[in-house]
Amino acid sequence: MKRWLWLCLLAIGLGLHTQAQSVEVIKIDRLEKEIARREGVVVVNFWATWCAPCVKELPDLYRVYQDFQARGVQLLLVSLDFADEQPKALALLKKKGIALPTFLLDETDYNAWIDRIEPRWQGAIPMTLIYRNGQKVAFIPGPVSYASLVTRIQEQLNP
């Protein structure tokens, strides 16, 4: 019995450690579904490897996620790099130690989908959205900091 318990713990431990970075190339329909199906507070951040302020804030976003993960906060990173640059996005996440499954949105006819995500958004990145149970509760154009994001998340966790 004890042995089983140990094995279980080991499996869980390994499971946690093997949650590695991935960058799945997706289309807009799938992204909308991914946002809608998630419960709790979800931070959706649009970034790209070529965008310096985006890359700069990634560690802060990840730290917020790590600090609030236990309270059900999820982080959805959406790269807007071109699809053939997926390896570049993956390498960057690895370098930054961001161990998360993430997406690359392969939709370059931007005008066709930007308004579906957020009508107030003009398309500049970085851009961050916060959802609670599938409902959009915050639109943050431009860079975010650890502190400002924590404030926003706490507003949603303790309304």
Partner 1 sequence: MKKYLFTLLLLLPAALTWAQGYKPGDKAIDFKLKNIDGRHVSLADYPEAKGFIVVFTCNHCPFSKMYEDRIIALDKKYKPLGYPVIAINPNDPKKQPEDSFDKMIERAKEKGFTFPYLFDETQEVARTYGATNTPHVFVLKKEGKDLIVSYIGAIDDSPRDASKASKKYVEQAVDALLNGKEVEVKQAKAIGCTIKWREM
**Chain residues that interact with partner 1, rule: CB under 8 A:** 48, 50-53, 80, 82, 108-111, 114-115, 121-126, 141-143
Q: Least CB distance from residue 27 to partner 1, whole Å?
A: 16
* Preceding peptide of 143 cis, ω within 30°: no
In the sheet that 135-141 helps form, which strands lie side by side, from edge to edge?
22-26, 101-105, 74-79, 41-47, 127-132, 135-141
We find the least distance from the C-beta atom of residue 91 to partner 1, in angstroms, to be 17
* Residue 42 or 57 with smaller CB distance to partner 1: 57
Give the integer Cα–Cα distance in Å for 4 and 29: 42
CA dist., res. 45 & res. 94, Å (int): 17
Nearer to partner 1, 23 or 41 (CB): 23
Nearer to partner 1, 76 or 117 (CB): 117
> Minimum distance from CB of 142 to partner 1 (Å)?
5
Cα dist from 12 to 8, 9, 110, whole Å = 6, 5, 41
Phi and psi torsions of 118, nearest 5°: -165, 110
- Residue with smaller CB distance to partner 1, 40 or 123: 123
